[in-house]
Every structure is written in C-alpha cells, then in structure tokens.
C-alpha cells in the first residue's frame, strides 16, 4: 500500500482527525476500494458495517416565489413572473395526506425567499399543521436559509426568530440552502442569499434555542476541491463547539437543467468518492446520509462509501424541476440496498 495511504489509514484506525490536505489526497489519489474501506472504518465509530436506516418523506414546496436569484436554481419565480404560487393551509395538508398514503413519516418544508411572508406567518402555518397531524409525523419546518431571510424581513435577530419558532412548537429546521459554504462560491452564484459566517450565526441561534438542525452540502456546480473542503472544514469546526450537535449530514448533487448556470452533471462515481471523504473528514457527525433524491438507486452504493442512512422521497419540486426523477417503487430501491449486502430498517426521526 502507498505509504501516504497507510499513514492516513492509521489515523482513521486510531480515531485521529485527518487534515484537509489528506482529504484532498484521498479524493484525488486513493483507489475506490481503499477509499470505501476507510470510510467504512470511519463509519464503524458510530454504526455497524452492514446495516442502514431509512424513512419515507416528502419535501413540500409551499411557495416558489423567491427574490434571491441563485443562478443554479431551476425552481424559483420572481414575484411578478408568471407561474408563481403560495400554497394555502388546505393545499399543504393535501400534500401531507399524499405522503401518508405512502406510509411516510417526515415532512420537510422548503420554499423560496418570499418577500411578503413574515416569520410569524411560518410559525402560524406550522403550528396549524402540527395540530392537525399530532404525533403521527415529524416536521422539518424551514431551511436555515429561509429562516435567515425571514428574520431579516421581519426585522428580528436570529435569536429572536429562533425563540419565536420554539415558542410556536417548532422542533426542527434543516441546514438546507447551504450548497457550498464558501464565500467566493456564493459570490459567483448566489450573492443575494447569505455569507458563510452569517449562516453559522443563524445555525448557532437555532441550536441554542433548543431546536434541532442538520448539515447539508450540494456538489457538482463549478466549485473547486478547495471550496468543497472549505465547506467541510467550516462544518467540522462549527460542530466542535455547537450548542447542540447536528445529528446528520446529507450531501446531494446539483442537477444542471432549466436554470441559468447549466453545466454538466457529475458522475455517481464522483459522488460516491466524495461521500467517503465526508464520512472520513466529518468525524464529529454521527449520521452521513446518501441521496436517493438525486442519485436514485446509485445512492445505495453510498452505503459502502461511509453512509448509513437515506430518505425515500415522495416529492420535491426543487430537484425535479432541475432534472431529478423520483420513483415510488420503494421496494425496488430497497432491494438495491439489500443487494449491496445491507440490512435496512425503517427508522424514527432522529431524536432531538
Ligand atoms: S435556491 Fe432557494 S434561495 Fe436560491 S433562488 Fe432557488 S429558491 Fe431562492
């Protein structure tokens, strides 16, 4: 074995943190098999090698109105454009009822930066939804990005905003809207969205208020390896001293259709190799999740590259508009996981 690989493997075996230059070397140079084995070793800190968990969920896109104008987005419409929508309470409930017919148990709300929705509007909607569905479902009620915009619009600090959500009964937001957490990347593609330091300030306020949140990354735009690693490093550093831990990290891939940026889709092979780097580098995040939403059955190979968990999504307009296809043949998808040698178990939402 290459001496450099041996040295990194020895760090992973001892539970020693790897550096970003080691992560870069692994991504560029390590053979697939060695990378998968290292990621499996890193996964062993938290999980058995051959088991995986999943749940059925829907991403309910309650509005496509957005003023952020990210060039990689295929979903949004500006307020004055044709084809805008804002779902009312009954329409939201119809989407949730559709999820229940699939036996799903998690609803993630995701919309745009709507210039007329105050944070209290979100809090009221989510509170009504929870009253209707009681303890049957879990809800991810905003992404951090939407939370940030709404706080600014409502002239609230992040601490005040998080307290309002907490008081209204919100349990979870997600770390969605993060894409690549690197300011140069953000200036190129989404200058109207947020700066990285501000994102972590909002995450901190959310966690400090006693809400749960998650970590995410999207790859395959035109980001450099350095920019990808900046994202992972910022996340790992944040997690070291976060007021409560982010339980999970989900990486998915950019789809290049129907948007201003365009480009090419990265291969599943590249995705799997990057997933392994995420598992090895993010040594302080328990659950590394692979994306059926953007990789379909190929995502299940990710269980061999360090992932331990996945969603079976029933709908998500954001990625479907960009070119994703969602299959409701869950048995076929699960067989891909079983065929790869994994015992799969339906899980409860992660504990707060
Ligand atoms: S990615 Fe999100 S914030 Fe950016 S334009 Fe699309 S909906 Fe708006």
What DSSP letter does each residue of 255-283 carry, written as one string?
A: --SSSSS---PPPHHHHHHHHHHHHHH-T
Residues 220-224 have a mean pLDDT of: 98
**What are 307's two structure tokens?**
């992932």
Residue nearest to atom 7 of ligand 1 (CA): 112
Residues 52-62 have a mean pLDDT of: 97
**Would you list the domain boundaries of the chain?**
21-346
**Poorest-pLDDT segment among 32-41, 127-136, 146-155, 199-208:** 127-136
CB atoms within 10 A of CB 82: 5
What residue has token string 């709507």? 114
pLDDT band at 115; cut points 50, 70, 90: very high
Q: Counting atoms of ligand 1 from 1, which one is nearest the CA of 111?
A: 7
Q: Counting atoms of ligand 1 from 1, which one is nearest the CA of 64?
A: 7
What whole-number distance in Å separates Cα of residue 135 and Cα of residue 137? 6
% of the chain with per-residue pLDDT over 90 = 93
Residue nearest to atom 3 of ligand 1 (CA): 68
Q: Does domain 21-346 have CATH number 3.40.630.30?
A: no
pLDDT band at 124; cut points 50, 70, 90: very high
Q: Counting atoms of ligand 1 from 1, which one is nearest the CA of 73?
A: 6
| Residue 341, Ramachandran bin (φ over 0: left; ψ between -120 and 50: alpha; else beta) | left
Residue nearest to atom 4 of ligand 1 (CA): 70
| Cα 193 to averaged position of ligand 1 atoms, centre (Å) | 8
Residue 132: the pLDDT is 95
Residues with C-beta less than 6 Å from any ligand 1 atom: 66, 68-70, 73, 75-76, 112-113, 145, 177, 190, 193
What whole-number distance in Å separates Cα of residue 256 and Cα of residue 120? 34
Q: Which of 76, 117, 146, 199 maximizes ligand 1 atoms within 8 Å of its Cβ, making it the mutation to test the pocket?
A: 76
Q: Counting atoms of ligand 1 from 1, which one is nearest the CA of 193?
A: 3
Q: Counting atoms of ligand 1 from 1, which one is nearest the CA of 69?
A: 5
| Cα 200 to averaged position of ligand 1 atoms, centre (Å) | 18
For 227-250, the pLDDT digits (tens) are 999 999 999 999 999 999 999 999
Residue 237: the pLDDT is 98
The residues with which 289 forms a beta bridge, in sequence order, are: 250, 309
What whole-number distance in Å separates Cα of residue 54 and Cα of residue 293? 13
What whole-number distance in Å separates Cα of residue 219 and Cα of residue 185? 11
For 77-102, the pLDDT digits (tens) are 999 999 999 999 999 999 999 999 99
Contact call for residues 11 and 18 (beta carbons, < 8 A): yes
| Cα 110 to averaged position of ligand 1 atoms, centre (Å) | 10
| Cα 105 to averaged position of ligand 1 atoms, centre (Å) | 26
For 270-281, the pLDDT digits (tens) are 999 999 999 999
Residue 86: the pLDDT is 97
pTM over 0.95: yes
| Residue 174, Ramachandran bin (φ over 0: left; ψ between -120 and 50: alpha; else beta) | beta
**What are 96's two structure tokens?**
């949730």
Residues 117-128 have a mean pLDDT of: 96
- Longest CA pairwise span in the chain (Å): 61
What whole-number distance in Å separates Cα of residue 271 and Cα of residue 304? 12
Query: Can you point out the beta strands (E) in the chain?
Result: 51-60, 106-109, 138-143, 172-174, 215-219, 248-253, 287-290, 309-313, 343-346
For 299-319, the pLDDT digits (tens) are 999 999 999 999 999 989 889
Residue 33: the pLDDT is 97
Examine the pLDDT at 26 and tell me if it is beyond 70: yes
Residue 13: the pLDDT is 94
The residues with which 217 forms a beta bridge, in sequence order, are: 251
For 309-351, the pLDDT digits (tens) are 999 999 898 898 888 889 999 999 999 999 989 999 999 999 8
Residue nearest to atom 2 of ligand 1 (CA): 112
Residues 3-15 have a mean pLDDT of: 94
pLDDT band at 1; cut points 50, 70, 90: low
Residue 15: the pLDDT is 93
Contacts of 194 (CB under 8 A, 6+ apart): 145, 148, 186, 202
């Amino acid at each position: 074995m290459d001496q450099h690989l041996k040295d990194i493997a020895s760090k992973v075996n001892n539970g020693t943190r790897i550096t970003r230059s080691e992560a870069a070397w692994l991504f560029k140079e390590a053979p697939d098999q060695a990378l998968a084995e290292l990621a499996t070793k890193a996964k062993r800190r938290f999980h058995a090698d051959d088991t995986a968990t999943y749940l059925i969920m829907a991403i309910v896109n309650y509005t496509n109105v957005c003023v952020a104008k990210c060039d990689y987005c295929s979903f949004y419409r500006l307020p004055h454009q044709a084809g805008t929508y804002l779902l009312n309470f009954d329409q939201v409930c119809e989407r949730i009822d559709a999820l229940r017919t699939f036996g799903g148990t998690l609803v993630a709300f995701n919309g745009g930066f709507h210039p007329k929705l105050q944070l209290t509007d979100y809090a009221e909607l989510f509170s009504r939804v929870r009253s209707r569905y009681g303890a049957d479902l879990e809800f991810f009620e905003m992404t951090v990005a939407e939370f940030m915009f709404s706080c600014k619009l409502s002239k609230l600090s992040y601490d005040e905003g998080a307290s309002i959500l907490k008081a209204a009964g919100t349990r979870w937001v997600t770390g969605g809207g993060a894409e690549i957490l690197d300011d140069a990347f953000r200036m190129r593609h989404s200058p109207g969205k947020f700066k990285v330091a501000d994102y972590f300030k909002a995450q901190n306020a959310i966690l400090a208020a006693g809400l749960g949140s998650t970590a995410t990354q999207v790859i395959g735009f035109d980001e450099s390896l350095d920019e990808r690693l900046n994202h992972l490093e910022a996340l790992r550093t944040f997690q070291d001293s976060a007021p409560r831990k982010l339980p999970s990290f989900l990486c998915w891939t950019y789809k290049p259709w129907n948007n201003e940026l365009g480009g090419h889709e990265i291969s599943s092979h590249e995705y799997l190799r990057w997933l392994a780097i995420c598992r090895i580098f993010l040594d302080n995040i328990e659950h590394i999740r692979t994306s059926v939403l953007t990789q379909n059955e190929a995502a299940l190979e990710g269980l061999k590259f360090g992932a331990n968990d996945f969603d079976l999504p029933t709908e998500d307009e954001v990625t479907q508009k960009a070119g994703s296809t969602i299959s409701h043949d869950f048995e076929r998808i699960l067989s891909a996981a079983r065929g790869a040698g994994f015992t799969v178990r339906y899980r409860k939402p992660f504990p707060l």
